[in-house]
Structure 1
Amino acid sequence: MTSSPVTRRRHPALLFALLVVALTAVGGVYALVAPGGAATADTRPYTASDVEAGQRLFKANCSTCHGQQGQGTSDGPSLVGVGPASVDFQVGTGRMPLAGPAVQAQRSENVMFDDEQIRQMAAYVDSLGPGPQLPDEKYASGVGGDVARGGEIYRVNCAMCHNFAGSGGALTRGKFAPPLHNIEGKHIYEAMLTGPQSMPVFDDLNIDAEAKRDVIAYLHHLDQNENFGGLSLGNLGPVADGFFFWAFGIPLMLGAAVWLARKAA
Structure 2
Amino acid sequence: MSATQASRRNGRRGPLASVALILIGLVATGGAYAAFSSASATAAVDLSSPAVINQGQKLFAANCSTCHGQQAQGTENGPSLIGVGSAAVDFQVGTGRMPMQMSGPQALSKPVQFTDEQTQALAAYVASLAPGPAIPSQSQLENGDVAAGGELFRINCAMCHNVAGAGGALTEGKFAPQLTHVSAVHVYEAMLTGPQNMPVFNDLNLTPEEKKDIISYLSYIESNPSAGGLELSNLGPVSEGLFLWVFGLGAIVALTVWITAKSN
TM-score by length of 2: 0.81
1:124-157: CA deviation from partner (whole Å, max 9, x where unpaired):
11122211111121012xx221100000100000
CA drift at 1:230: 2.4
Matches of 1:132 and 1:170 in 2, distance apart? 28
- Which residue in 2 is equivalent to 1:161? 160
Measure how far apart 1:44 and its partner are. 7.0
2:224 aligned with 1:222: no
Aligned to 1:257: 256
**Offset at residue 261 of structure 1 (A):** 1.6
- The answer as to whether partners of 1:81 and 1:126 remain within 8 angstroms in 2 is yes
Superposition map of 1:134-153 within 5 A: 134-140=135-141, 143-153=142-152
Task: Give per-residue Cα distances to partners, 1:212-239, cap 9 Å, x unaligned.
Answer: 1111000000111122322110011111
Which residue identity is paired with 1:113? F
**What secondary structure, in the 3-state scheme, does the structure 2 residue paired with 1:212 have?**
helix
CA distance in 1, matches of 2:123, 2:183: 18
Whether the 8 Å CA contact 1:84–1:126 is kept in 2: the answer is: yes
Q: Which residue of 2 aligns with 1:98?
A: 100
Say if 2:240 is the partner of 1:241. Answer: yes
Match for residue 172 of structure 2? 173
Shift of 1:45: 6.2
Structure 1 residue 85, shift from structure 2 partner: 0.3
Residues 43 and 134 of structure 1 are in contact (CA less than 8 Å); yes or no, is this contact kept in structure 2?
Answer: no
Aligned position for 1:16: none
Distance across 1 between alignment mates of 2:73 and 2:87: 18
For each residue in 1:2-56, what CA deviation from the matched residue of structure 2 results, as whole angstroms up to 9, or x when unmatched? xxxxxxxxxxxxxxxxxxxxxxxxxxxxxxxxxxxxxxxx987612211111011
1:72 is the counterpart of 2:71: no
Greater Cα offset, 125-134 or 80-89: 125-134
> C-alpha displacement at 1:262, in angstroms?
2.2
Equivalent residue letter for 2:105: V
Equivalent residues in 2 for 1:43-82, closer than 5 Å: 46-82=48-84
Determine the C-alpha separation between the residues in 2 that align with 1:151 and 1:64.
41
TM-score (norm 1): 0.80
Q: How well do the aligned residues superpose, as a CA RMSD in angstroms?
A: 1.5
Stretches of structure 2 lacking an aligned partner (at least 5 in a row): 1-43
Paired with 1:45 and 1:214, the residues of 2 have a C-alpha distance of: 27
Could you say what secondary structure the match of 2:201 adopts? coil
Distance in 2 (alpha carbons) for counterparts of 1:230 and 1:149: 25
CA distance in 1, matches of 2:45, 2:134: 8
Task: Show structure 1 runs of 5+ residues with no match.
Answer: 1-41
Greater length-normalized contact order (CA 8 Å, ≥ 6 residues apart): 1
- Aligned residues between the structures: 221
Deviation at 1:99, TM superposition (A): 1.5
User: Offset of 1:107 from its aligned partner?
Assistant: 1.5
How far, CA to CA, are the matches of 1:152 and 1:43 in structure 2? 35
Q: How far, CA to CA, are the matches of 1:139 and 1:223 in structure 2?
A: 19
Shift of 1:74: 1.3
CA deviations over 1:190-211 (Å, ceiling 9, x no partner) = 0000000000000100100111
Q: C-alpha separation between the residues in 2 aligned to 1:174 and 1:76? A: 19
